[in-house]
Amino acid sequence: MPNQLPHLITRLRDILYVRLSDHFAAFPVAVLAGISPANPLKRLARVAGYAGLRLVGHLFQPIKNPGQLRGAVWLYVVSANNYEALKFIADARLDAVLVAGQGKNIGRYGAVVNRLSLRRKLLYYGQYPAALLGLRRQVGSRALRFFDLIFYAVGYYEVYRRALRHYRPQAVVFANDHNDDARALLLACRAEGVPTAYVQHASVSASFPPLGFDLSLLEGQDALDKYRLCGPVRGRVALVGMPKADAFLNQRNLTPRVRRVAVACNLLDELPALATALAYLLHGLPELALTLRPHPGDRRDFTALRQALPALQWSDPQQENVFQFLLRHDALVAADTSTHLEATLLNVASVYYRFTPTPTLADYYGYAAHGLSEWAHSLPELAAALARLAQHKPADLYQRAAYYNATLGTPDEGHSRALALRQLAEWLAAPAAAA
């Protein structure tokens, strides 16, 4: 173990790249509390719950996979959004199967995703004390602040290496490059010589880990520029646009005036501030219909908001995908979410408004800086922007997305799936991927 300890610490630091970063530590207190409670006793309780429900619970959870994992192209997903980003590959290739870790919440798609057993993860927790101390030396008190997140990450790498040796997949395709389990599988693939590919599923930031796949299919120049800021870019890169948007680009909203406003929120948006903004808009712009859509992973209780604002309409992200939601609206109001890009592609007017301002997250994706979204800095500015759009909404807003979507305005527009599948097939057929 002593000789292996430096490798273990380096590996866990990589797996927890985002969680141990300055950027993550600067998240709003309320947001961090939802991920890792500030109270150490509550963190300890979560660790105990994870140990009982996951580590021990997995021992008694049967796994019956509907697909054939041996020798297949694995499409590894960590969320419903990931599933929707990679499903087109499974539809097109008979050798592709969607997989996730045992017990991973994939929303409404959970029952149709193959599962990788995590039963043996329990065997590796003897590493935890040494790993915690080693990370404490490297990142200081941050390791103790997030000791629960370190606990969750232990064992993924070793279990996934074992799964790769057992099933010998042809390749593994990811749609996430920063969750702990996804990064552990990426490192396991490198150790076992399994080729890896990445399909970008949402906008990225310069705070992400360096791009580390053998093939990366990115949406546009924005993503490549940001990954270059993250560090050295590994492997081959192709700009293919947004495959998940193909089916919707011919349904662009050409309504000349805004009447229906979509509001998207996520865990960064605190509920009191969100309620204040919605009440202001409903009162000041009664002619506009507002619909709120929480993030698919948002588990907060919105009951009080529903009762306080009965005129507010709702979208269930578990039943309606983001494009279906946006197509019912003429404008979008949101803070830091890639929904702005999806809205603009559909010619839905995009207004960036920070419900809960924090210095470190201003214009996180750079949408306002690059002219994709209009930035409303206050509630009066937000109301004024929507009132103006209620009088006139341009028909060419979608052209603002060209920097983010490489196929926009080209013969490949609306054919990103075919382009991505062609790139993937060529890569899998090449000797480097087959080796």
Return d(Cα 122, Cα 294) in angstroms, integer: 34
Kindly report the CATH number assigned to the domain that includes residue 413: 3.40.50.11720
**Domain count of the fold of the chain:** 3
Return d(Cα 200, Cα 405) in angstroms, integer: 11
**Does residue 187 share a domain with residue 91?**
yes
**Does residue 218 share a domain with residue 81?**
yes
**Does residue 47 share a domain with residue 102?**
no
Q: What is the pLDDT of residue 3?
A: 64
Q: Which long-range contacts (CB under 8 A, 24 or more apart) does 51-54 make?
A: 54/103, 54/118
DSSP for 317-379, please give it.
TTTS-HHHHHHT-SEEEESS-THHHHHHHTT-EEEE--SS--GGGTTTT-TTTTTSSEEP-SH
AA identity, residue 338:
S
- Residue 419 gets the label, from left (phi > 0), alpha (psi -120 to 50) or beta, of alpha
Q: What is the pLDDT of residue 34?
A: 86
Domain that includes residue 376, residue range: 247-401
Kindly report the CATH number assigned to the domain that includes residue 358: 3.40.50.2000
**Does residue 90 share a domain with residue 228?**
yes
**Does residue 171 share a domain with residue 27?**
no
**Does residue 159 share a domain with residue 149?**
no
Q: What is the pLDDT of residue 291?
A: 98
> CA angle, corner 429, sides to 425 and 434, nearest 5?
125
With tokens 């909404």, the residue in question is 393
Per-residue pLDDT of the chain (435 residues; tens, 9 = 90+): 556 788 999 999 999 999 999 989 988 887 888 899 999 999 999 999 999 999 999 999 889 898 999 999 999 999 988 999 999 999 999 999 999 999 999 988 999 999 999 999 999 999 999 999 999 999 999 999 999 999 999 999 999 999 999 999 999 999 999 999 999 999 999 999 999 999 999 899 899 999 999 999 999 999 999 999 999 999 999 999 999 999 999 999 999 999 999 999 998 899 999 999 999 999 999 999 999 999 988 889 999 999 999 999 999 998 898 999 999 999 999 999 999 999 999 999 999 999 988 766 789 899 999 999 999 999 999 999 999 999 999 999 999 999 999 999 999 999 999 999 999 999 999 865 544
The pTM (predicted TM-score) of the whole model is 0.91
**Does residue 330 share a domain with residue 431?**
no
Under DSSP, the state recorded for 404 is: T
Q: What is the pLDDT of residue 434?
A: 45
**Does residue 234 share a domain with residue 195?**
yes
Q: What is the pLDDT of residue 435?
A: 44
Q: What is the pLDDT of residue 50?
A: 95
Return d(Cα 219, Cα 246) in angstroms, integer: 12
Last residue of a domain, one of 154, 169, 204: 154
**Does residue 374 share a domain with residue 237?**
no
**Does residue 165 share a domain with residue 302?**
no
**Does residue 413 share a domain with residue 371?**
no
**Does residue 177 share a domain with residue 74?**
yes
